[in-house]
Copies of this chain bind each other. A is one copy, B any other.
């Protein structure tokens, strides 16, 4: 559900919280197939998110129930691609408080025969690393390449793959921020979701009154740690979107993002 405190001033789910739901879906899906973070921890392996792209036709409104589907599109030795589809339930009664209550307190009982509403799609690329050496490791070495059994090659994900975000020399330094306790995840690194939030905070709230976020794309280059300062450089791209480069203390690039807005109304 799009929880009320996870929604922005316009009553729509924050992209950062949607990103968190996608990462959870990836973890639950891989855990159920013997590739989860928790299992990998025990054998000194971990999934590392390399790229994430999310493109939406619409963001779920507060109190709306939605489902994140995920599947493995492809696997190579050092990278695997995992896609997402964000779909709704039948929402024709969504203005009805009584209906909200019953769907909060019990699983959905009415199964609609029509196609679900599609909010949007996501694409992600993951590497597997050795948690001691921090080096990439062979994904196929886990359970004799069992990941190949889970590939779904024919499910459509009709959004562009993330490409290399090209930055010119004219990018403007918008913010430099300190990172703190709440930015750091269980690995001691800056939380992937926090980057999404920090990038979207580069635009003032008035900007969001006139625009909505169509697509967010990020490529993680290096890890940052709690206490690092992060600087955000932004420049407009030829197609009307914005490119953002994030560097940490010492001018080391940690991530690049591309953000596409649409005018409201």
Instruction: Name A residues whose Cβ lies closer than 8 Å to a Cβ of B.
Output: 3-11, 14, 16, 20, 23-24, 27-28, 31-32, 36-39, 62-63, 97, 100-101, 104-105, 180-182, 184-188, 191-193, 197, 200-201, 203-205, 208, 226-227
Contacts and interface: CB of A to CB of B under 8 A. Distances in A.
Contacts of A62: 186
A34 to B, nearest CB: 8
28 contacts: A4-B24, A4-B27, A4-B186, A5-B20, A5-B185, A5-B191, A6-B20, A7-B186, A8-B181, A8-B185, A9-B184, A9-B185, A9-B188, A9-B226, A31-B97, A31-B100, A31-B101, A31-B104, A32-B101, A32-B105, A38-B63, A38-B100, A39-B97, A62-B186, A180-B205, A181-B201, A182-B200, A205-B226
B5 A193 contact: yes
Q: Which of A6, A14, A205 has the most CB of B within 10 A?
A: A205
A208 B62 CA distance: 34
Contacts of A39: 97
User: How many copies, total?
Assistant: 2
A186 B31 contact: no
A59 to B, nearest CB: 13
Contacts of A193: 5
List 4 tightest A-B contacts by C-beta distance, closest first: A180-B201, A205-B226, A182-B197, A9-B184
A204 B179 CA distance: 10
